[in-house]
Amino acid sequence: MATATVRPAAQRLRLLLSPLKSRICVPQAEPVATFGTAVTSAKVAVNGVHLHYQRVGEGEHAILLLPGMLGSGKTDFAPQLQSLNKKRFTLVAWDPRGYGYSRPPDRDFPRDFFERDAKDAVDLMKALQFKQVSLLGWSDGGITALIAAAKYPSYIRKMVIWGANAYVTEEDSRIYQGIRDVSKWSEKARKPLEALYGYDYLAKTCEDWVDGISQFKQLPEGCI
């Protein structure tokens, strides 16, 4: 079963820079999970890189949490890691390559970066010895989840996504250019990511992301 909300990128980026998003911050300490289960952090070698993840819970139902543009497990999913049922679910929040603590390498955006993230995500969960998983993703994480479900349907149990888009339009491209300069973001939206990356890496990666996502506009119907 998949529940998907596919929105234009304009709405996705408004959500990214909304007050709701801006209230998310990098925790100073690992949250204590319900039922006394602690959040653990680790890295595992996957497809030539070392991917960072946080894991909590002991449930049979494994769920991978996929963050949005420039995000990480900590910045995007701290409330879910803390509050979702740890008896029912095992939760894994990952940092895609080049994001969060999955560095090095630095993040780059070849045309197949969503497909690369989808393979990394699935191979990460297989490396952690999950036989089947569900996906919970937003923004770019939602796009990655859609591709993962399309490419590896027998491995994906259920999926919930929001704030994802299936194509890039001229309007989207104009909006992307409007967020290229992170110095123009609201302080509340910028500060959590600046604390995670440092200003220079954040600024460069945002510019690279704009170029990376904009390249889909050159494909037929802007299809991602």
Q: What is the pTM of this model?
A: 0.85
CA distance 91 to 97: 19
Q: How many domains does the chain contain in total?
A: 1
pLDDT band for position 94 (50/70/90)? very high
8 A C-beta contact, residue 6 and residue 165: yes
Q: Look at residues 58, 51, 55, 25 and name the one whose alpha carbon lies nearest to residue 41.
A: 55
Structural domain containing residue 126: 2-222
Instruction: Give me the CATH number covering residue 63.
Output: 3.40.50.1820
Tens of pLDDT along 163-206? Answer: 999 999 999 999 999 999 999 999 999 999 999 999 999 999 99
pLDDT band for position 14 (50/70/90)? low
